[in-house]
Amino acid sequence: MQYAKSAHTPDLLEGIPNIPPGGQAILEVASRLFANRGYEATSMGEVARQAGVSKANVFHHFGSKHGLYLEVMREACQDSREALCRVRGKGESVARQLSAFLHHHLDILLRREQISRLIMREIMESSPEGAKELAEQVFFDSFTELVEIVREGQQSGEFRSDIDPSLLAHLIISTNVFFFQSRNVLRHFPLVDFADDPQRYVEMASDLLFHGCLRRPVDNTPSDACANPVLPAKSQEKVHD
């Protein structure tokens, strides 16, 4: 599926529900409680009390505790969806678009630490059915858009055509997620000097992800040397035997 660059924002945000102010206040309270206490220890009554509404009002907006929890997940990912929208349609190279998203995404993870940890905990601990629900109802639109951006880079000739665009999209997200999860440990490694400098980290990570780590591009066309490698003398003796 191809997207017109001028139409990305409405397409990507189309699935985000229009939550009324009363429901938004409930979401903010629920996000904090779920992040601090977890799902089981958070009651709908406590959400209602701290949001200053009736329990019936919470059910009116979200239907059930599970419905509220799922909406918290969607709301937490909205910043990432909006970050994708911001990098689209600026006429920049795909590598620059993805690098900009990498910056925005890491900033979101660090700025909203509690809710970011809630999402990661849910991913790690969810049942197969729960994981399917997260994939389809929470992460699908953003991940699909990220894959489409990579495909545009392939179609324009900017990126190699033989890479799996879903894999690169996965690596972009996991690059930030693992930094977020591990930087408290990373800062104690003497050879790691970027744990407390997220901006520098993401610039270096972008360079590696989108430009590689080889000193020069590799020619995939087999040369004579590649097709008929020169064996060490000892190995050649075995071959001739």
Structure tokens at 108: 């979101």
Q: Side chain identity at 181, as an amino acid letter?
A: Q
Domains of the chain: 18-63 (1.10.10.60), 76-212 (1.10.357.10)
Structure tokens at 157: 């000739």
Nearest-10 crossing angle of helices 94-111, 165-186: 40
- Rounded CA-CA distance 34/29 in Å is 9
The stretch 38-48 carries a mean pLDDT of: 91
Tens of pLDDT along 142-156? 999 999 999 999 999
DSSP state of 230: P
- Rounded CA-CA distance 69/67 in Å is 5
Nearest-CA neighbor of 79 among 103, 98, 102, 105? 105
- Rounded CA-CA distance 185/106 in Å is 17
> What is the distance, to the nearest Å, from the Cα of residue 144 to the centroid of all Cα atoms in its chain?
11
Structure tokens at 31: 């996000």
pTM of the model: 0.74
The residue that leads in pLDDT, 91 or 72, is 72
Residue 200's pLDDT band, with cuts at 50, 70 and 90, is very high
User: Using alpha carbons only, what angle is made at residue 193 by residues 189 and 196, rounded to the nearest 5 degrees?
Assistant: 100
Tens of pLDDT along 155-195? 999 999 999 999 999 999 999 999 999 999 999 999 999 99
Query: For residue 195, what pLDDT is reported?
Result: 96
Radius of gyration for the alpha carbons in the chain, expressed in angstroms and rounded: 23
Q: Which long-range contacts (CB under 8 A, 24 or more apart) does 56-63 make?
A: 57/22, 57/26, 58/26, 61/19, 61/20, 61/22, 61/23, 61/26, 62/23, 62/26
Residue 92's pLDDT band, with cuts at 50, 70 and 90, is confident
Nearest-CA neighbor of 1 among 164, 143, 145? 145
